Every structure is written in C-alpha cells, then in structure tokens.
Amino acid sequence: MLNYVHSIPTKVFFGKGQIQRLPEALAPFGKRVLLAYGGGSIKRVGLYDTIMKLLHDGGFTVTELSGIEPNPRIESVAEGVRLCKENHIDVILAVGGGSTIDCAKAIACGVFYEGDDLWQMIANGRGRKKALPLVDVLTLSATGSEFDGGGVISNMKLNEKLGAGLTYPAVSICDPTYTFTVSPYQTAAGSADIMSHIFEGYFSREDDCELSDGIAETILKTVMKYTPVALRDPENYSARANLMSCSSVACSGIPEYGKESTGWPCHAMEHELSAFYDITHGVGLAILTPRWMRFILKKDPTALPRFVRFARNVFCLEGEDDQALAQEAIDRLEAYFKSTGIPMTLKELNIDEKHFEVMADHANRNDRLAHAFVPLTRDDIVEIYRACL
Ligand code: NZQ
Ligand code: ZN
C-alpha cells in the first residue's frame, strides 16, 4: 500500500430537505451570489423557485448565469467570470449536475486568473488554485464533482475536453429527491460514470489495498443493484439515495487510497469522443469499458488475477478456470450496461473511424497511459476505439 493524503474539505449535507441549510451554507462567504445552472431542468422541477425564495428571505442578492451546457464550454466559464467581476460576487451557488458544478469551479478560479486566455488556465490545470467559495446543490448522480476538486471543460473550437485541478466545493447539498426527475438515459449514463470512476482505480497493480478494493466492489454492486430500480421506479428514494452516495465517494479518490494513479485510461479515451462528438460522458464510458477490458486482458496475461477477483467479488462467479471467469465477468458487465438501455456501440452515436488516430494521440499525450494497469500505446487505443464501432 502506497502513502496517501486524505484531504477533502467539502461539507456534505445529505438527504431529504437539506436545502433548508442553504442560507447557513452561503452566509459565511457574503451576500452577493452568482446562481449558476444549466438548460432549465431546475426550473421544470421547481428547485429554482425554492432556492430563489430561500435566497430572497435570507437577504442575498442574486446574479444568474443560466444555460451551462452538458460538457460545459470555456465560453460559459468566461461569461461567469465576467459576471462575477462586474457584480463583485462573494460566493458561487451551482445548481445542477457535474457540468454546472465543473463550470462553476472554473469560474471560481477564473476570477483570480491573471492571464488573458482562460483556456490556458484549464490546459495548465494541475493543483488547486485561488478561488471564490463554491456551494452546490446536486441534481444528478454521476461525476462526483460535488465531492472532488476537479473540473472538466470543453473547447469545441480546438476539439479539446480537459480535466483540471480547480477547487473543492465548500458545501454540497445532496438531496436524492432532486434526482427523481433525471431521465432514464441520464440515470443510466450517470451510473456508468460512477462505475467507471471505480474501474479506473480498481484495475491497478497494488493488491494489498483491501479497504480501497472493498469500497470499490461495494460501490459497483450497489450501482448495479439500484440503477435498475431507479429506471423502473424513478421516485424510489433508497435507489436514488444509494446512487447519490456512490457518486460522491467513487470519484473522491478514497477508492484509490494506497494505489498508484493509473492515468484513468477509459476517461482519457472518452474525453476525446466527447471533444469531437459532444456525446454524453457516461455513455462513452459504457461503450469503451468492456472493449478496454477485453483488450488489456488479451495484451497482458498478468492482468488476469485482478479480473478473477472482479468476477468473484462483484459478480459472485465461481469456478476454477480463471480465463473463463474473467471473460464471463466482462460479458456480464457489458450485458448489464445494455440492459440499462444506453447505446453500446459508437455507430449508434454516428461516430466512425475518421478521427481515431488524432484522438488516440491526444488521449495518450505526455505518455499519460504509460503507467496504466496495462500500459497503452497509440495503436492500442486505436484498436480499442475500433472494437467499439
Ligand atoms: O442542463 P439541465 O437543464 O440542468 O439538464 C441536465 C443535462 O441536460 C440534465 N439534468 C441534470 N439534473 C437533472 C436533469 N434533468 C432532469 N432532472 C434533473 N434533476 O441532465 C443533463 C446532463 O447533465 P450534466 O451535468 O451534463 O451531467 P453529468 O452530471 O453527468 O456531468 C457530465 C460532465 O461532468 C464531467 C463530464 O466529462 C461532463 O463534462 N465529469 C466531471 C468530473 C469531475 N468533476 O470530477 C469527473 C467525471 O469523470 C466527468 O468527466
Ligand atoms: Zn467520469
């Protein structure tokens, strides 16, 4: 087990009715609030009115930034920075899914960025930065942005989508009832994203991190148990609550404690798909994951014991033939993703081979995947993309 640092400064208010804590969450930072949200779901579900009333009653002044896109754009970040500076904003309140929270994180840092080009702040983005305080109300279980310090911003002019170390939310209000209205497609995609955050650390070389691996396996089983329930019965509180807790822990770093970072190969490959085709992140991950697993298992036989552990501990498979166990586990995972109703091939998303080589080069920039569980070359990545067609 390698050394690790536990440092997550975010306070989470989890559960029904926690929105009532919003005024006390904002108050220490000041009265001038930038309310950031997406394309309107918070208005359709009534959350906007609830929040505006709380803010009004609490004597806050509100400036709004609406229309933050799924796969948030650098242009929205720039607009948010402008609004913050113009209105002397004290604190940002992000209400939405990962895209809104990520955009708000970039705005929070962008206010203090001294360069001319905000995209450079994202592109150079390692390490935490000076930032405005951020409070969020989560409405979609997926990315874990409510409990981590990263953000992912897109520059469609450059076909780039990059993750950066930005800032942690000071407070996240996580009420599972706000996810009752999430569509089946986004519910399934979000669940695939949660699972992928686990796979990226679980498939690693450190075999003695029992706590991390146990948390990882529990999250995988929990997500596969409750996603079908949420799809059948969108207002099932237990299902939505379990998915929301899994969302926060899966991407927090905790399931990777004691492990060397793998470079997150499926995320590296998926961000290229999103950067060129603006697809839903979790759908891209669900398509890539089983193909990546089959590829690395074939490329490097030393990967087998991890897959056997995955088969036994997550799918409760039994038998003496390790290869058969590993293949069966991957098949079951693929069948599970299919059963949630999301596309499972790139063709269904109208993606062909055209950009595979450029995407592969970029996914592996600075030899990012040289330390993956099974290191990947550019040609390997192209082969994985092809297997996804
Ligand atoms: O924009 P609105 O109208 O709010 O609608 C959104 C959006 O269309 C809708 N939605 C959200 N909550 C809803 C709802 N619809 C009905 N009821 C609700 N309660 O869902 C759609 C997708 O929202 P989005 O925020 O884009 O989804 P998600 O949370 O999956 O975020 C995806 C983004 O996060 C990045 C992804 O790459 C992508 O850009 N990631 C961020 C990470 C992080 N910060 O740590 C890690 C992840 O690996 C990921 O890369
Ligand atoms: Zn993800």
Site to substitute for ligand 1 among 186, 251, 277, most atoms within 8 A of C-beta: 186
User: Does the beta carbon of 281 sit less than 6 angstroms from any atom of ligand 1?
Assistant: yes
Say whether pTM exceeds 0.85: yes
Residue 129: the pLDDT is: 78
* C-alpha 130 to ligand 2 mean position (Å): 24
Q: Whose CA is nearest to atom 26 of ligand 1?
A: 70
The secondary element (H helix, E strand) that includes residue 207 is none
Low-confidence ranges of the chain (pLDDT < 70): 127
Residue 127: the pLDDT is: 63
46-51 contacts, C-beta under 8 A, 24 or more apart: 47/19, 47/95, 47/137, 47/139, 47/178, 48/95, 50/19, 51/19, 51/22, 51/93, 51/95, 51/137
User: Does the beta carbon of 178 sit less than 6 angstroms from any atom of ligand 1?
Assistant: yes
CA 239 vs CA 33, 41, 197, 228: distances in Å: 32, 21, 19, 9
Q: Whose CA is nearest to atom 48 of ligand 1?
A: 143
* C-alpha 97 to ligand 1 mean position (Å): 4
Residue 304: the pLDDT is: 98
d(CA 367, CA 263): 9
* C-alpha 302 to ligand 2 mean position (Å): 26
Q: Whose CA is nearest to atom 39 of ligand 1?
A: 71
* Ligand closest to CA 161: 1
Cα radius of gyration (the chain): 20
* Ligand closest to CA 99: 1
d(CA 34, CA 94): 8
* C-alpha 87 to ligand 2 mean position (Å): 33
pLDDT in tens, 227-272: 999 999 999 999 999 999 999 999 999 999 999 999 999 999 999 9
d(CA 222, CA 243): 8
User: Does the beta carbon of 179 sit less than 6 angstroms from any atom of ligand 1?
Assistant: yes
Site to substitute for ligand 1 among 272, 281, 285, 289, most atoms within 8 A of C-beta: 281
Residue 52: the pLDDT is: 98
* C-alpha 57 to ligand 2 mean position (Å): 37
Residue type, 26: L
User: Does the beta carbon of 255 sit less than 6 angstroms from any atom of ligand 1?
Assistant: no
* C-alpha 328 to ligand 2 mean position (Å): 24
